[in-house]
Structure formats: structure tokens, C-alpha cells
Structure 1
Amino acid sequence: MPDTHPAPAAPHESPTPESAIGLHAEPGHLIRRAHQLAVATFHDTHGRQITPVQYALLRALQEEPGLDQVTLAQRVALDTSTTADIATRLEGKGWIVRELLARRQRSLRLTPEGEAMLSDMLPRVAPMYQQLLQPLSPAEQAEFLRLLRKFVQLSNAPTDPETEGKPAY
């Protein structure tokens, strides 16, 4: 009697090293999870009336008052339209003022309310980051931050001749 059973399927080939990487070893996934942890820690510390990106814009303006929106966008590594949208929201909250400059640019400055917001937040910033990095030893923390700075700097390497040689924020 002939065998009516189908032939067994060929065994699967062993995975290549590239396909063997599990989700929890993929850099993109780990970076996203790290971002989620950082944002959650930020909101646990400062509440939800300000976002980490809004905070970054306020800090950049605190360090360099009067920046135009295009330069501010470069400093915090955002596109100009997103920066303009966030600046409009910050102005609506009363934390910055935007002054029209020549050629439709805008100069941005913190208001007294924006300064007060940052003054209230800043004492909690260092403890927040200590909490975030607490699972790492002091040496690991320093190495982690060094590698993050290197990763971000290399990923933001300027390709525009006008920005060549300038720091990539």
C-alpha cells in the first residue's frame, strides 16, 4: 500500500546571527524603552504641565536668551516647524515671549513666569537623573553618559557645509 502521508517538511535552517537577535537586544527597541523610562521619570518628578521637550527649549533659552527659533531648533535637535509649534504653546502658557525680527524670524526670551517655572524645576533635576541612573554603578553611569553623548553627536554629524565644524546639539 502506498504511503499517503505527506513528506515531512524540511527542517528550518538555523537562524543567521542577524535574525537571532531577540527584540530585547535590538538597539532601536532599547533606545525606545530608555526614552519611555526617561519621560516617565520626568513626569513623575515634574508633573504633566510641562513636557521634556518644552523643558529643553526653556533651558536652551535660559542659557542663551534671545535665540531665534531656527537656532533654538538646532540647539535642541528639532525641526523648525515643531519648534515653532512648541514655542507657540510656551508663549500661550506665558513662559516665553516671541519678538518679531527682520526676515520673519522671531527672538525668544523667557518671561518672569518661565524663569520661575525653571527655578522651581531645577532643584529636582539632578535628583531625577540620579534616580534614573541609580541601577548603574557610578563608573557605569559615567560610561553610559559618555556613550550616549558620542552616539548622539555621531548621529547628528553635520552634513551641511554651513554647519560643518559647529557643535551638533
Structure 2
Amino acid sequence: MVDKLPAPARIRVLPSWLLGRAAAHGRGLVRAALAGDGMPMLHHLVLIAVQEYGPVAQAELARTVAVDPKDMVTILNSLQADGLVTRTPDPRDRRKNAITTTDAGEQRLARQEPLVDAAMDELLAPLDPAERATFLALLTRVVAAGAPTVS
């Protein structure tokens, strides 16, 4: 077996590379935590967005969380089959569906919150509480300065 070479030294010091590696690690931790509860990470994202913005139009939800509308239909079908969301005609425009979390969806998110928190604790374990606060404040500034609002 051939050992994999590390990324070139010049790349390993770039903030974009470091952020990407940290993000990939964080997503992996969250993905594993949610898998233990039987939910794909993207389904969790959609369910959180419905909880926060619902009732919300299906198309608006897809735009908000940057999910292809076809994929959103599949995700919502799954969440609805699990009894976590409902789709009803939007009272403002009957051609659209309004998506809302159910009590079961709210309970599922409440059950998953400590799982995600534990994953984030693991991600940030090398930092003490003051460093975590500073790190999050700095990341928030970087994102606010130019990154997309959702991703």
C-alpha cells in the first residue's frame, strides 16, 4: 500500500484549505451523530429550517437551504412519511405547499440537538472555552463579510 502524501506545505497554511478541512471534519462528526438517530444530515437541515421558518413554501425552503427543488421533494417526502412535517396548501397561494413541523418533528429535533452539540464539542475539543468563543466570533465575522447566507 502506498502512503498518501500530505497536502503541499503552501496549501496547508491557506485559511480556505484549513476552513475546508475543519468543515469536512465537522460535517463528518454531525453526519455520524445524526446517523445514530437514523437521519441524514440534509434531512436534519431541512427539518431545522422548517422549524424556524414554517409554515414555509416548499420552493422558498429549497432556495433558503440551497437544495435543488427535485431533491427537496425527495427529502420532504421522507420527512412527511416519518411524520415529521406536514404539507398543506398555502393559504396565500393554493398552487404552493406550506411546510410545517409536526409535534413529532419538534421532538425529533429536541432529541438531536444534544447529539449535534456533542459533535461540535468534539470538533472544538482542542480549544478552551475562551478560544471557542473567539473562534466562533471570528468565523461569524468572516461569513458575514462575504459568504453566502446559507450553505
TM norm structure 1: 0.65
Identity of aligned residues (%): 27
Matched residue of 2:99: which SS?
strand
| Distance in 2 separating the partners of 1:120 and 1:112 | 12
> Given the alignment, which residue of 127, 136, 139 partners 1:145?
136
Instruction: List structure 1 runs of 4+ shifted beyond 4 angstroms.
Output: none
| Distance in 1 separating the partners of 2:67 and 2:44 | 16
Consecutive unaligned residues of structure 2, counting only runs of 5 or more, are: 1-7
| Distance in 1 separating the partners of 2:142 and 2:64 | 16
> Given the alignment, which residue of 123, 146, 150 partners 1:155?
146
More strand by share: 2
> Given the alignment, which residue of 116, 121, 145 partners 1:125?
116
| Distance in 2 separating the partners of 1:91 and 1:143 | 39
The higher radius of gyration belongs to 1
| Distance in 1 separating the partners of 2:106 and 2:99 | 13
Number of aligned residue pairs: 139
Q: 1:118 and 1:137, CA in 2 relative to 1: closer, same or farther beyond 3 A?
A: same
What are the Cα deviations for residues 45-94 of structure 1, in whole angstroms up to 9, with x where unaligned?
23263233322221222233312234434543x14525444333322433
The answer on whether the counterparts of 2:34 and 2:41 sit within 8 Å (CA) in structure 1 is: no
Question: What is the identity, as a one-letter code, of the residue corresponding to 1:128?
Answer: A
Consecutive unaligned residues of structure 1, counting only runs of 5 or more, are: 1-19, 158-167
The answer on whether the counterparts of 2:50 and 2:56 sit within 8 Å (CA) in structure 1 is: yes
Question: What is the identity, as a one-letter code, of the residue corresponding to 2:16?
Answer: G
Deviation at 1:110, TM superposition (A): 1.4
Deviation at 1:37, TM superposition (A): 0.9
Q: 1:46 and 1:95, CA in 2 relative to 1: closer, same or farther beyond 3 A?
A: same
| Distance in 2 separating the partners of 1:37 and 1:57 | 21
RMSD: 2.7
TM norm structure 2: 0.71
